[in-house]
Amino acid sequence: MGIFNDYMREGRGVDKGPDERPRFIVFFDILFRKFWSLIKVNLLFVLACIPVVTIGPAIAGMTKILRNYAREEHAFIWADFWETFKKNFGKAMLIGIIDIVAAAIIAFDLYMYTSLTGSAMVRTVALALMFITATIFIFMNYYISPMLITFRLTFKQLIKNAFIFAWVGFFRNLFVTVLIAALTLIAVLYFPTFGYVYVLLIYFSLCGFIINFATYPLIKKYMIDGYDSDTGERLEESDKE
């Protein structure tokens, strides 16, 4: 798989300290430098998702690479992807199945609520509750995979922390959702011509990079920088990559 092997390329090199540039400039700088790599990551992700039940582990594998890009670290696309895929297979597959089931339930509820007859107020309240639930569910998913591949957390801790981050980073999460909605709209409007190629080559990895770039600073602030290795506090965060 020569197109995925980048062992001959240089790594991150010597750490030059924190990047003082505005975040949006850093984002586009990484995006342009890693554009071809994002295409390779996207192709690998699509390949790994061919059995639908492996979507969760495939997301974990892709997240490992995109998280490294977001914090400007080197990643070996083929090796890091499959190592993370296998290492987190069980828990990631469970999360992936839960996501699929939850998405199906939300879609079914949306269909049912819009088809209800009777009180307009009842329909409005039902739709509002469903919208809030779906929004928080989406926001939580932005943090689950990055935490899964970075820390040794139980399933309960993953869900609890993701729920907290959904609210702590609410406006950040909302901005990410708007961007991803725009990228999705491009695929829908131009499918199946350009949209098909776009989804196959870059859509998933680009969305994933946006998510990891936006969420990692928050995870770093509350789960990495806040860890006290001397006292042993916050034990659930003690083993991290």
Q: Which residue, chain included where needed, has tokens 């994933």?
A: 208
Q: What is the pLDDT of residues 180-198, one digit of tens each?
A: 999 999 999 988 889 999 9
The domains of the chain are located at 21-237
241 — pLDDT class (breaks 50, 70, 90): low
Distance CA 189, CA 231 (A): 54
Distance CA 164, CA 212 (A): 17
CB neighbour list of residue 203: distance below 8 Å, 6 or more residues apart: 42, 183, 184, 187
CB 57 within 8 A of CB 143: no
Average pLDDT on 7-34 reads 74
pLDDT at 201 over 50: yes
Q: What is the pLDDT of residue 203?
A: 97
pLDDT at 44 over 70: yes
Measuring CA to CA, which residue among 218, 211, 205, 38 is closest to residue 138? 211
Classify residue 27 as exposed, middle or buried by CB count within 10 Å of its CB (0-12, 13-18, 19+). middle
> pLDDT > 90: what percent of the chain?
69
12 — pLDDT class (breaks 50, 70, 90): very low
**b/e per residue 150-184 (b: at least 16 CB within 10 A):** bbebeeeebeebbeebbeebeebbeebeeebeebe
Measuring CA to CA, which residue among 31, 120, 48, 42 is closest to residue 82? 48
pLDDT at 235 over 50: no
